[in-house]
Amino acid sequence: MKHGTTDYQYTAWKDNLVPGENYSANIGSLEPGTRYHFRAAILTDGDVVGFGSSLTFVTPGIAPTVTTQAVTDIEAATATGNGNNTNLGVSYSDEIQLTNTNNWAMGYDDTRVRAGQLLTITDRTVTKLAFLLAKYGDPSGNVTFEIRKASDDSLICSKLWGDASSLTVYDDYEWCGVTFDSPVYINEQVRICVHFAGIGRIYCRRGYLAKSGENFVYQATDGGGWTNYFYYDMAYTYTHDDNVTQHGHCWNKTGNPTTADDKTENGKAAATGPFT
């Protein structure tokens, strides 16, 4: 069992196998906000002769520290604090990924223009999207990543990845990702997908059903209906910022204000930006 942060450079467990038995290995001392890779490697006389399916995941980031501070004035220009300021702008981030075991062809030659995952994204601001892709032969044409509403198939956001000719050669898949021009807030069921209607063929990766309530989908033609494959999941990654609830208080007193001083509740602050 091999693992690592940039490659499979560490061995978590090594032993001879007995047919029919299950085996597992632990990875200790995981760092927050770090990508890890994990897979089984088959060795004969010390030489690697094969690999199992790979699992890639990112550990959660660290939630922000929120500090309450009393100041001498409610006006930002004249306020003087009695302690250190704390930046409240850093929110929790995470990435979700699935392992992969199966190829799926798409493109003009296969009359399939989109492939992706039907899932529900709840109260998250999505910034990045990635899929495992490869090319077959010499395809050409735009490869675009999209997030579409499941309710009416309308486009929420999209980003051009590049031309299909730039993909790695099948069967050597690579993670291909985009960062959207601006973060997009999502709180509904959506389809995250790859769009390719060019010449030739490209492949994406999918795995056997791993997540309840999600499934692999594809669209044969632009504007056509979607087909569900309930026994598969798309190999995907999306990056998001959780909407963290943050609080701040202000007392309009000179000297060393305390919580015992008179104070006024000004209501909820804006979801983003400075407190008022």
- The span from the CA of 65 to the CA of 276, in Å, is 19
Q: Residue 165, SS3?
A: helix
Q: Is 49 part of any domain?
A: yes
Q: Extract the tokens encoding 106.
A: 């798409």
Does 5 or 201 have the greater pLDDT score? 201
Looking at residues 143-150, what average pLDDT do you find? 98
- What is the CA angle 60-66-67, rounded to 5? 155
At 132-144, the pLDDT tens digits run 999 999 999 999 9
* Tens digits of residue pLDDT in 83-123: 434 444 444 455 566 656 688 888 866 678 999 999 999 88
Number of domains in the chain: 2
State residue 111's pLDDT score.
76
Structure tokens at 228: 């569900």
pTM, two decimals, is 0.62
Query: What are the tokens at 13?
Result: 């467990």
In the prediction, which pLDDT does 7 show?
72
Residue 273 has pLDDT above 60, yes or no: no
Residue 174 structural domain: 94-242
Taking the C-alpha atoms of residue 213 and residue 59, their distance in angstroms, rounded to an integer, is: 22
Structure token digits, residue 187? 């709180």
Residues 47 and 101 in one domain: no
DSSP string computed for 28-93: -SPPTT-EEEEE-EEEETTEEEEE---EEEE---PPPP-----BS-SSTTT--BSS---------E
10-18 long-range contacts, Cβ below 8 Å, gap at least 24?
12/38, 14/43
Where residue 72 falls among pLDDT bands split at 50, 70, 90? low
Q: For residue 78, what pLDDT is reported?
A: 56
**Do 201 and 144 lie in a common domain?**
yes
Is 85 inside a domain boundary?
Answer: no
pLDDT band at 245; cut points 50, 70, 90: very low
Q: Residue 138's domain is classified under what CATH number?
A: 2.60.120
Question: pLDDT tens across 45-68, in order?
Answer: 877 777 777 777 777 766 555 445
The 3-state secondary structure of 202-245 reads EEEEEEECCCCCCEEEEECCCCCCEEEECCEEECEEEEEEECCC
Confidence of residue 125 (pLDDT cuts 50, 70, 90): confident
Residue 265 has pLDDT above 50, yes or no: no
Per-residue confidence band for 250, with pLDDT thresholds at 50, 70 and 90: very low
pLDDT on residue 81: 52
> Which range, 1-15, 111-125, 147-161, 213-227, is most confident?
147-161
Answer yes or no: is 225 within a domain: yes
State the virtual CA torsion across 58, 63, 64, 67 in degrees, nearest 10. -170
Q: Based on the fold, state whether residues 98 and 204 are members of the same structural domain.
A: yes
Q: What are phi and psi of 164, to 5 degrees?
A: -60, -25
Does residue 107 lie in a domain region?
Answer: yes
pLDDT at 194: 97
Q: Rounded to whole angstroms, how far apart are CA atoms 192 and 119?
A: 8
Q: What DSSP designation does 109 have?
A: G
Tell me: do 41 and 107 sit in the same domain. no
State both tokens at 30: 């995981």
pLDDT digits (tens, 9 = 90+) for 178-191: 999 998 999 999 99
Does residue 75 lie in a domain region? no
Which pLDDT does position 150 carry in this prediction? Answer: 97
